[in-house]
Amino acid sequence: MIPGFVDPHTHICFARRRESEFELRLAGTPYLEILKQGGGILSSVKAVAETDEESLYSYSRGHVLSAISHGTTTMEIKSGYGLDTENELKMLRVIRKLGRDLPLEIVPTFLGAHAVPGKFRKKPDDYIDLIIDEMLPLVTDNNLAEQCDIFCEKGVFSVEQSRRLLQAAQKFGMGIKIHADEVHDLGGGGLAADLGALSADHLLAVSDENIKKMSAAGTIATLLPGTAYSLKKPYARARAMIEANLPVALATDCNPGSSYTESMPFIIGLAIMNMDMSPAEALTAATLNSAYAIDRAGMAGSLDRGKRADFLLLDGQSPAILAYHGGVSPVEEVYISGEKVIR
Ligand code: NIG
Ligand code: FE
């Protein structure tokens, strides 16, 4: 018996898969090049705009149910395939409804700054203004998200734009997190430390200096090995982080582009086999540390007095089964709030 998995970073609310793009990437087209040509995240944006709220809900619900069957009992879900006020709010309403209808705990995150929409290609600062002046007030007034996130990356949003948005979000009382140093070492990890973010996520390219800074600031490093797997990139340096006393969390990053999986057992398997994490470290990263990364350590992440009774029964003698039984979920039974939800 282990605690239910806490998946602290997902984009599981989306309207269509991007299978043909996956094959393009396998044939050599880089991820950011596809985005530059108007595909990638922007193709998911088009799909969300073309999909009504009800269909977006039922497609997303299917993926969330699959995550539960793989042992996820608490999950963060980001918006970010809207990129205009109407569609960002539509996504956040769908995410809220999933949280109300399904037994697991869902933590909604506003990711209006996931990509620069076509209209703002030449003036990304104006898009940041629109987010701050129009979207943030609506999101917080309607209680649609707890945290604000941004994709800080070359060709997407700069460190300065990220700082401006995240400081504004903090003024609205939101928690903050950053897609940081995924492809290039821009310094997003350092910014997360400066601003007191809950987490910096990805960190495939983070510098040693910013690992130290995050460790001193108490930021969580949320690692997403499904992305390294799917983008065929070197994995994040989990050992260097753990040795620097930086708490590591694990998440699926479930999305139709860079990591199409809702399975925490798969992610834990990758962390153990490809990032040299021990089974005990990977289990802590996928439960207690990930609960801290989304501000849910008071209710989830460990089997403790006063927390919710979210737990799993595995078919195995130890959590090492999660890596040992490759590609197969050993999760036999899932309990949320003490109630059996699967099997
Ligand atoms: O976390 N890096 C940016 N965002 C997502 C990918 C979203 C997508 O490709 O649709 C990520 O990997
Ligand atoms: Fe992401």
Tens-digit pLDDT profile for the chain (343 aa)?
Answer: 999 999 999 999 999 999 999 999 999 999 989 988 889 999 999 999 999 999 999 999 999 999 999 999 999 999 999 999 999 999 999 999 999 999 999 999 999 999 999 999 999 999 999 999 999 999 999 999 999 999 999 999 999 999 999 999 999 999 999 999 999 999 999 999 999 999 999 999 999 999 999 999 999 999 999 999 999 999 999 999 999 999 999 999 999 999 999 999 999 999 999 999 999 999 999 999 999 999 999 999 999 999 999 999 999 999 999 999 999 999 999 999 999 998 7
**Going by CA atoms, what residue is nearest to atom 6 of ligand 1?**
258
Q: Which helix (H) or strand (E) holds 180?
A: strand 175-180
Find the 180 Cα to ligand 2 centroid distance in Å: 10
Q: HSE (CB half, 13 Å, CA atoms) of 269?
A: 18
Residue 70 carries which side chain, given as an amino acid letter? H
3-state secondary structure of 214: helix
Distance of CA 43 to the CA centre of its chain: 19
Dihedral sign, Cα of residue 288, residue 294, residue 298, residue 300: negative
Q: Is the CB of 301 under 6 A from ligand 1?
A: no
| Distance from residue 253's CA to the centre of ligand 2 (Å) | 5
Closest CA to 38 of 27, 47, 26: 47
**306 CA distance to ligand 1 centroid (A)?**
35
3-state helix, strand and coil shares in percent for the chain, rounded to the nearest 5: 45, 20, 40
Q: Cα–Cα distance between 308 and 82 in angstroms, integer?
A: 33
Of 38, 59, 37, the C-alpha closest to 48 is 59
**Cα(64)–Cα(72) distance, integer angstroms:** 9
Expressed in angstroms and rounded, the spacing between residue 3 Cα and the centre of ligand 2 is 24
The DSSP 8-state label assigned to residue 104 in this structure reads S
Dist CA 149 CA 260 (whole Å): 20
3-state secondary structure of 151: strand
User: Could you tell me if the CB of 78 is within 6 A of ligand 1?
Assistant: no
Specify whether the CB–CB gap between 79 and 42 falls below 8 A: no
In this structure, are residues 227 and 204 in contact, taking their beta carbons and an 8 Å threshold? yes
* pLDDT recorded at residue 342: 82
Q: Measured in angstroms, how far is the CA atom of residue 203 from the centroid of ligand 2?
A: 11
In 3D space, the residue among 175, 173, 171, 166 whose CA is nearest the CA of residue 147 turns out to be 175
Does 44 contact ligand 1 (Cβ within 6 A)? yes
> Closest Cα to atom 1, ligand 1: which residue?
253
How far is C-alpha 10 from the chain's CA centre?
A: 4
Residues whose CB is less than 8 angstroms from the CB of residue 339 and which lie 6 or more positions away in sequence, other chains included: 103
What's the CA-to-centroid distance between 149 and ligand 1, angstroms? 12
Cα 316 from chain centroid? 28
Structure tokens at 103: 């037994």
Atom of ligand 1 nearest to the CA of 31: 9
Rounded to the nearest 10°, the torsion over CA 27, 66, 17, 53 is -160
Nearest ligand 1 atom, CA 201? 1
> What count of other Cβ atoms lies within 10 Å of the Cβ of residue 172?
15
CATH number of 2-342: 3.20.20.140
Domain assignments of the chain as residue spans, ordered by start:
2-342
> Residue 343 has what pLDDT?
72
* Side-chain-facing half-sphere of 56: CA atoms under 13 Å: 29
Measure the CA–CA gap between 52 and 61, rounded to whole angstroms: 14
- Rounded to whole angstroms, the Cα distance separating 153 from 161 reads 11
Rounded Cα gap, residues 176 and 203, in angstroms: 16
Nearest CA to ligand 1 atom 9: 257
Q: Is the CB of 179 under 6 A from ligand 1?
A: yes
